[in-house]
Amino acid sequence: MHDASEPDALDLPGHTGVPADSASTLFSASEDPVKQAAIDRSIAAHHTLAALPDVRFATDNTIVTVLHPGFELLDVVGPFHFLAGTGATVHLATTGDTLAPVPSGSGASLIPTLTLAEVPTPVTVLLVPGGDTGVLLRDTQALADLRRLSDDAEYVTSVCSGSIALAAAGLLDGRRATSHWSVRHLLPGYGATEVNERVVEDGNRLTAAGVTAGMDLAIRLVSYLCGDTLARFAVLGAEYAPEPPFTTGMPEQAGTALTELSRDFLAPLEEELRAQPAR
């Protein structure tokens, strides 16, 4: 029997599958007693999860992910999946002047929630994705906004070549950092220290390696904001247990021939992101 005191739709923070403000009808009250019993079980499980001693929700926090033309889609969507379950306000901030959809490098577009220039401070997490990072390096206003937001951000983070943008903005000076393997060696040209690790943490600067490493970064952030139990719960909900059919995800695994082919494929990006000598 449905308890009328319970909400008609799941509205607790931290739901790891469907955000409370999504268009999903999974948790809408039902006349079907079997479905309603399942909804009641889910609501009870959410209350149980929320009551665990080390679980907390980041409901007073703000997470901002930067959207620039040509961003890498998984750099944004992968972390978003995990961070949206924290209860924080999650913004997609466009470097443009309007809220027009921003095209990713793969063609799919995302709709921003506000412009980067109008993001209020302080923010809890600032996340810069990779992709066509040269767009950011040429956007002096965007770099200025990254510096402004980083001043009192709790965590300043990046995925893939997004760390090059952070470094170019002067936000990784003297700090250890990583990036996609094809451009990681460019970090010292911007004053950072190159580290070959999947996620590198130096103070409140967290940088992730290429593309899929953004999910590892986000899981770490969930543990910081909400505790290890919720992070582990989110990993289970996402069935995040990678077993790629080909273990060629790093140059050390891929071998020389495939790595050199990939490096040549990415040569324009590497050249575009190389720090220019002072004139």
Are 233 and 52 contacting, i.e. CB atoms less than 8 angstroms apart?
A: no
Are 14 and 230 contacting, i.e. CB atoms less than 8 angstroms apart?
A: yes
Q: In a 3-state reduction of DSSP, which class is residue 276?
A: coil
CA 155 to chain centre: 12
Q: Which of these is catalytic: 66, 92, 125, 160?
A: 160
Strand partners, 170: none
Spatial separation of the C-alpha atoms in residues 115 and 119, rounded to whole Å: 7
Give the pairing type, strands 205-208 and 199-202.
Answer: antiparallel
The CA distances from residue 97 to 14, 94, 164, in Å, are 32, 8, 23
Spatial separation of the C-alpha atoms in residues 104 and 133, rounded to whole Å: 11
Q: What is the amino acid identity at position 75? A: D
Q: What is the amino acid identity at position 193? A: T
Whether 160 is catalytic: yes
* Residue located via tokens 């077993």: 243
Return the structure tokens found at 6.
């319970």
Catalytic residues: 160
